[in-house]
């Protein structure tokens, strides 16, 4: 059962954007602090990656735990209400993510997924630095 009524849930969902969210901005700041420059949301690449480092042929995706179903996170759980709607929708997101990453790898790109919940831990900076070769 949903804790919010239909109107309030609709308002919450309407406010969710796909670009320039706080987790993405935090990752941008970390990558920039490591001395890297990048392109945002390249529409010519599969999945419109959040950060594209062309010179290094590397891509960073910043995934929200709910929308991309992070298995290791409490936020990655399927809602209890309207499961017939949410299960296929979230499964499509996961399938699309996997297809996009596979296409990018075939094209010679190296990809890293940073989960929203990982930003609470300082280790994400080390993970980014290792991936980017800083």
Find the angle CA(128)-CA(132)-CA(134) to the nearest 5 degrees: 90
Q: In the prediction, which pLDDT does 9 show? A: 65
Domain of 72?
A: 6-132
Look at residue 1 and tell me if it is in a domain.
no
Look at residue 13 and tell me if it is in a domain.
yes
Report the pLDDT averaged over residues 22-38: 94
Q: pLDDT tens digit string along 69-97?
A: 999 888 888 888 888 988 999 999 999 99
| CATH code for the domain in which residue 69 is found | 3.40.960.10
Res 59 pLDDT > 70? yes
Q: pLDDT tens digit string along 90-119?
A: 999 999 999 999 999 999 999 999 999 999
- Mean confidence (pLDDT) of the chain: 89
Look at residue 41 and tell me if it is in a domain.
yes
User: Number of folded domains in the chain?
Assistant: 1
């Amino acid at each position: 059962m949903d804790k919010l009524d239909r109107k309030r849930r609709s308002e919450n969902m309407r406010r969710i954007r796909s670009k320039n969210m706080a987790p993405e901005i935090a990752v941008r700041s970390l990558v920039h602090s490591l001395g890297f420059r990048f392109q945002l949301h390249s529409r010519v690449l599969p999945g419109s990656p959040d950060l594209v480092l062309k010179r290094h042929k590397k891509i960073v995706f910043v995934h929200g735990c709910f929308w991309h179903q992070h298995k290791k996170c409490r936020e990655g759980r399927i809602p209890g209400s309207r499961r017939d709607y949410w299960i296929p929708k979230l499964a499509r997101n996961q399938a699309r993510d996997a297809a996009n990453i596979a296409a990018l790898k075939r094209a010679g790109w190296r990809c890293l997924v940073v989960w929203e919940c990982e930003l609470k831990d300082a280790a994400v900076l080390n993970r980014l630095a290792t991936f980017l070769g800083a």
